[in-house]
C-alpha cells in the first residue's frame, strides 16, 4: 500500500521579500509532487499567489475554526 506524502510549511509572516518569492515558487512546484501540501501563516494579503490545490491555514481561518469548535461544545 502506498502511503500519502504530506508536507506542511510554516511561515509566520509573508511579506514581499526574496524568501517569500522563493516560498511561492517552491510551494507551487511541490504541490504537484506530493499528495497534500499545507501552509500555515498569520498573513492574509499574499495568499492569492499560492496554487489553489494548497491547504492554507491563515489567521482568519484559524480564528474562525477555533470559534466554530468553541460553539460546538
Residue at 22 is within a domain: yes
Q: What is the pLDDT of residues 10-53, one digit of tens each?
A: 888 887 788 888 888 888 899 888 888 888 888 777 777 888 88
Burial of 28 (0-12, 13-18, 19+ CB in 10 A): middle
Residue at 50 is within a domain: yes
Looking at residue 13, its pLDDT comes to 81
Residue at 1 is within a domain: no
Phi, psi of 27 (to 5 degrees): -65, -45
pTM of the model: 0.66
Q: Residue 26's closest CA among 73, 68, 34?
A: 34
Whole-angstrom distance, CA of residue 30 vs CA of residue 26: 6
Helix (H) or strand (E) holding 66: helix 59-72
Residue at 43 is within a domain: yes
Domains in the chain, number = 1
Domain of 19?
A: 6-72
Amino acid at each position: 500500500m502506498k502511503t500519502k506524502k504530506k508536507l506542511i510549511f510554516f511561515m509566520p509572516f509573508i511579506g514581499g521579500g526574496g524568501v517569500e518569492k522563493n516560498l511561492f515558487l517552491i510551494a507551487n512546484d511541490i504541490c504537484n509532487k506530493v499528495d497534500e501540501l499545507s501552509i500555515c501563516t498569520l498573513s492574509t494579503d499574499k495568499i492569492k499567489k499560492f496554487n489553489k490545490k494548497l491547504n492554507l491555514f491563515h489567521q482568519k481561518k484559524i480564528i474562525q475554526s477555533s470559534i466554530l469548535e468553541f460553539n460546538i461544545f
